[in-house]
Amino acid sequence: MSLFEQSEAGGRPNRSTKKVAGDSKPGSPPPPKYSEKESLFTSDNLDDNDSDMPVRREKAPKSTAVPRQSNEWQLNQYWVHIAVLTLFSAITRFYKIGFSNRVIFDEAHHMGFGGKYVNHTFYHDVHPPLAKMLIGLSEALTGFDGSFDFKSGSRFPANVNYTFMRLFNASFGVTLAPMAYATMASLGCSPNAALLAGLLVCFDNALCTISRFALLDAMLLCFTAMSVLSLSGLYKYRNQPFSIAWFKWLLATGVSLGLVASAKWVGFLAVGLVGLYTLYELYDIFGQKEVSLISHLWHWTTRVVALVAIPVAIYMLCFVVHFNLLYKSGPGDAEMDSLFQAGLQGSGLQNQPLDVAYGSKITLKSAHPGAGLLHSHTDAYPDGSKQQQITGYSHKDTNNDWIVKKIHGQSFGNTTETIEFVRNGDIVRLVHERTTRNLHSHSVAGHVSKRDWEVSGYGLDGTYPDANDHWRVEVVEELSRNNPERRLRTLATRFRLRHVNQNCVLRATGKSLPQWAWRQAEMVCDRRNHLDENTLWNVENHVNPLLPPAKSDQLRSSFLRNFVRLNLAMARSNNALTPDKDKFDALSSSPQDWPVMRLGMRMCGWEDGEVKFWLIGNPVVWLVSTLAVVLGPIQMLYYVVRRQRGLCDFARQNEWETHLYVSGILWGGWALHYLPFYAMGRVTYQHHYFPALYFAAMYLAYLVEWSGRRIAGAVNSPSTRAAMLALGLAAIANFLYFAPFTFGFDYAAEDLASRKWFSSWNIYDAAK
């Protein structure tokens, strides 16, 4: 602290000389003056690195004598503070962590998904795999045998060491407070402000509660904090580009961005923050005439490699591991295409003949994700042609089986020796095996999509020959090798079926038929030739006793294909999580509820005797930080307006610029992690605000310090210190007061009625 005051005092009288010095700026950034450790608290914001140099040198004899010692002391202080914060965090995160022996909240999902990695069964979820793989790792470490299915609210059996799983997860949460401290230090704040930020993060009930269960959020928060910590390191060394420390932080930023994006897609907001910061920095460098062209290129290349290539590589690596771990067929199969499924153990798609021949029994899978298999059943259309219905059906049954036959008037005689395969361009007839109806289309309007033609089942095999039963096979994509004859192949060929007479293509519309067709997917013959994905088909099951089974290596889909497909499926599932806006949902909340703490959330059943957790923030942290993120920009506007009027508030150029940079990172981080939720159509929950809160807490501490310095004219004036102390103590007190919500309570919720500060909080049922 003394150092601050000194450099402040030292800086002032030299203002005029500095200005002159600033105009004759040295051509290149100076070499790093201090070692990394020394500069921990020699905040850049107060030392105008470029222009202050001459001044500093001049002052050197005076200012080194005392601060040398205090630097060492400060270093110690830094690590002491970190240690204290880590200890507090560990206590709050680990205390009574195994109190409830039930599956709490989304542990049902995430521990369950972790279990899938133990069992190696393929599942589908909206989140990227990294965090769930880590949960899976924690389960594997306990020796979990995969037998428990983590049903919501159920009790853990004795052989499941849920305490360790939670401890593993909570340890990610422990890192949050020390990282907040380190971030603030890197951003050039005083130890007091950094400590305050650490305390606010450490003693926030919500951040603490969410870390104590095996959920994805602790990891997401940890990786987000890592990203912003690395970013603050980059910021700190921005005037010494290409130094060792700078490279270290750049690399760390890239790695943590990769991790955060692989934990949850919300992590891309952190990527956005770093991206915007980087663009701004590059723009800044762009204006420095003394930087050479080579140097510019170097600036760009290093950033592209570190901040784009590395995160992408990590993200994809996570999926590589994901696919390799999940090699058995499981509940998520249906989200992937047939070829991928064929690669899974136990999917029943292996050992099929490869080339489809006339007479083969096949099922046809639509590339439309929701349409399933081409299906027919004995029900007829109620209007239109009133012929037999053709639908898409996801469930596997024998009504999905079709026989490939030659067109009316032609026959085939297949034996094992002379077998005739179906090739690209062949005109075929598809006969529904159970009902012997032909796949048929005609110029009758569809039932839901009225602009297209109806597809129906017609005729009894060859009994009523009709040219409208003829379809041409048009191969679009071939995923297997060595297919010179362009044969139709199981799983690996993607093709269209074009109606010969009407020149329309069989297409899944993505709409459901009414109740009379059991709400199955609609199939039409698309006459406008929308040649999109929905017109593509592949053979999924193939039975032909005359043909040998395929070699397994012929049915493999590439990693990139699977990767893209899975990510698209995740996006689709994510978008499908749309709430019914007329329905009241006690768990979900909307973005405008979060900063004002309108709602808390019950994380489990609310019976009196059970251990209950109520997810609520620490009002001191949440409400005051909300105040800060609202007042901060207003304060900023005030100074901007004054500057435009030509009023000079800042003795040093750099002070204002530093303020913009730091506010940009912290406030910008909050805004980027909060405002996009307004634009999201999907259902939102309170815990979506936590990354934003992490930024808000740090911004609050920063703003208190900065405003204190503006008002009192010195760093750490007594009043600022008092304010910080009061804030910190209030946060701790409030944390302890709300501790039952965080650590769990097994008595009746009414006993905590005094803590119901807002009428919208559902701590207990008023009706009861």
Residues that bind another protein (CB under 8 A): 283-284, 286-287, 289, 445, 450-451, 515, 527, 580-585, 641, 643-646, 653, 656-657, 660
String of b and e for 9-21 (b: at least 16 CB within 10 Å)? Answer: ebbeebeeebeeb
**Closest separation in Å from C-beta 450 to another protein:** 8
Smallest distance from another protein to CB 632, Å: 17
What is the smallest separation between the CB atom of 660 and another protein, expressed in angstroms? 5
Neighbouring C-beta atoms of residue 295, cutoff 10 Å: 15
Output 425 or 514, the one with its CB closest to another protein: 514
Nearer to another protein, 215 or 231 (CB): 231
Question: What residue type is 190 in one-letter code?
Answer: S
Residue 50: CB minimum distance to another protein, A: 11
Q: Which residues of 202-239 are buried (b: 16+ CB within 10 A; e: fewer)?
A: bbbbbbbbbbbbbbbbbbbbbbbbbbbbbbbbbbbbbb
Residue with Cβ nearer another protein (24 or 283): 283
Cβ neighbours of residue 607 closer than 8 Å, sequence gap 6 or more: none
Q: Which lies closer to another protein via its Cβ, residue 62 or residue 642? A: 642
The structure tokens 């150092």 sit at 3
d(C-alpha 651, C-alpha 661), whole Å: 17
| 716 Ramachandran zone, left/alpha/beta (phi>0; psi -120 to 50) | left
Name the β-bridge partners of 454.
Answer: 524
Q: How far is the CB of 25 from another protein (least distance, A)?
A: 11
Residue 509 backbone dihedrals phi, psi, to 5 degrees: -85, -15
Q: Residue 534's CB: how many other CB atoms inside 10 A? A: 21
- Nearer Cβ to another protein (477/585): 585
| Pairwise CA distance, residues 602 & 623, whole Å | 20
**Least Å distance between CB 722 and another protein?**
32
| Other beta carbons within 10 Å of 638 | 11
CB 602 to another protein: min, Å: 14
CB 53 → another protein: shortest distance, Å? Answer: 17
Q: What is the 3-state secondary structure (H, E, C) of 395-426?
A: CCCHHHCEEEEECCCCCCCCCCCCCCECECCC
Nearest approach, Cβ of 154 to another protein (angstroms)?
Answer: 20
Which residue, 450 or 572, has its beta carbon nearer to another protein? Answer: 450
Is 481 or 645 the residue whose CB approaches another protein more closely?
A: 645
Between 638 and 747, name the residue whose CB sits nearer to another protein.
638
Q: How far is the CB of 28 from another protein (least distance, A)?
A: 17
DSSP per residue, 202-222: HT-HHHHHHHTSS-SHHHHHH
Task: Provide the minimum distance between the beta carbon of 511 and another protein in the complex, in angstroms, as a whole number.
Answer: 14
DSSP character string of 167-195? HHHHHHHHTHHHHHHHHHHHTT--HHHHH
CA dist 225 and 232 (Å) reads: 10
Nearer to another protein, 65 or 679 (CB): 679
Structure tokens at 28: 């290149």
The secondary structure element, H or E, covering residue 254 is helix 244-263
Which is closer to another protein, CB of 517 or CB of 724? 517
Cβ distance to another protein smaller for residue 70 or 653: 653
Q: Which residue has the tokens 């105009």?
A: 23
